[in-house]
Homo-oligomer: A and B are copies of this chain.
Amino acid sequence: MISTGSEGLGLSQLAPLLAEVGKAFERQLASDLPPVNTLCRHVERYRGKMLRPTMVFLCGQAFGPVGERHVIVAATCEMIHMATLVHDDVLDEAEVRRKGHTVNHLRGNEVAVMLGDYLISNAFHLCSRAGDPALNLRLGEVTNTLCEGELVQLSHREDLSLDERTYFEIVRRKTAVLIGACCELGAQLSGAPADAVAALRRFGEGIGVAFQIQDDLLDLEGRQDVVGKSLGRDLEKGKLTLPVIIHLAQASGEVRERTIEAIRARDGAALLAELTSSGSLAAARSRAVELVAAARTELRHVPAGVSRDALDAAAMAIVHRDF
């Protein structure tokens, strides 16, 4: 979405910067141990959309030149993201990711757990290379929050009474704060004023929540050959997502009973039919669209130009993607 879009946007600087992120990745993950290198080569293909590095660079470029520190932060955030993908696939028992097999499917959960740890460790090590303790502190805070979101989500598995407030708190923590930090740090490292830094953090968190809602929708109604990863995992693992929460909050009588039965039976087709007929899928999609609209208003704190236009386009693309 973003990586191809960026060319269309005429951001000639973005492609070489993303290539720098790729090089930083390879340098960081190079090991003298062949079994480690084989695994790292496998997960390198998880670097798909590069949404997080793109946000670091666009938010930086909007305020000034971007440099080595931006590349370090971008690569660190993408590596943190990859670590969460590897561990999420263990949690979700997913078999497919980026149209290839997941590490847990190919090599077992144990290797996937340890490989995720290796990526987290390397992310922090790479971040430390910037020589700026404030960066370590900020990204440590972000990953603490991210894990908290995952832990709270796990504690609500099979919880049919999960409410919207808790759902949004989980999603903010597990998905949005990392994207928010990418925007915030990208701008900060280019010397953006404090109000713009704060606005871009809100922008990133807003599109981050919208991104997760879109992920929830794709898990329910996407086509695996297009999305490129295992779908239906939310239902399978007892995770209530926004369309289901909206639906259950208003459903009563037979509709409610049929829905709960579909959830208990892990019947994706039946659940989808209920969510469609009640308008809950559309309602969830509207929430994502509203979040993106609100996020875009934060861009008034950003100087007009090609970078701001690209941020605006990226935000809109979030809710229109089908992969």
Chain A positions within 8 Å of B, measured between CB atoms, are 31, 33, 35-36, 39, 83, 87, 90-91, 109-111, 113-118, 120-122, 124-133, 136-137, 140-141, 143-144, 146-148, 150-152, 154-155
| Complex alpha-carbon distance, A36 and B120, angstroms | 20
**Contact flag A33-B133 (CB < 8 Å), given A91-B110, A113-B113, A124-B140:** no
Q: 7 nearest interchain CB pairs?
A: A125-B140, A35-B155, A118-B147, A128-B136, A121-B143, A128-B137, A124-B124
Q: Which residues of B contact A109 (CB under 8 A)?
A: 90, 109
Most chain B beta carbons < 10 A, residue from A114, A125, A131: A114
- Which residues of B are found within 8 Å of A116, using beta-carbon distances? 113, 117
Subset of 16 A-B contacts with CB under 8 Å: A33-B151, A35-B155, A83-B117, A91-B114, A113-B113, A113-B116, A114-B151, A115-B147, A118-B147, A118-B148, A122-B140, A125-B137, A125-B143, A125-B144, A126-B140, A136-B136
Does B136 lie within 8 Å of A124, measured CB to CB?
yes
Contact of A114 (CB < 8 Å), options: B111, B132, B150? B150
This chain: copies in complex: 2
Q: Which residues of B contact A36 (CB under 8 A)?
A: 148, 151-152
Say how far A191's CB is from chain B's closest CB, in angstroms: 21
- How far is it, in angstroms, between the C-alpha of A115 and the C-alpha of B151 when the chains are bound? 7
The reply to whether A113 and B125 form a contact with Cβ atoms under 8 Å apart is no
Within the complex, which residue of B33, B131, B137 is in contact with A152, where a contact is CB–CB below 8 Å? B33
| Distance, CA A42 to CA B3, complexed state (A) | 44
Q: A154 to chain B: which residues have CB within 8 Å?
A: 35, 110-111, 114
Residues of B within 8 A of A131 (CB): 133
Q: How far is the CA of A87 from the CA of B140 in the complex (A)?
A: 19
Q: Which residues of B lie under 8 Å from residue A152 when comparing CB positions?
A: 33, 35-36
- Chain B residues near A115 (CB-CB < 8 A): 147, 151
Task: Collect the chain B residues with CB atoms within 8 Å of residue A143's CB.
Answer: 117, 121, 124-125
Residues of B within 8 A of A124 (CB): 124, 136, 140, 143
* In the complex, chain B residues whose CB is within 8 Å of the CB of A111: 151, 154
Given A120-B121, A133-B132, A137-B125; A114-B147 close (CB under 8 Å): yes
Smallest CB-CB separation from A112: which chain B residue? B113
**B147 in contact with A121 (CB, 8 Å):** yes
User: A120 near B118 (CB under 8 angstroms)?
Assistant: no
Beta-carbon nearest neighbor of A111 in chain B: B154
Q: Chain B residues near A132: list those with CB within 8 A.
A: 133
Closest to A137 in B: B128
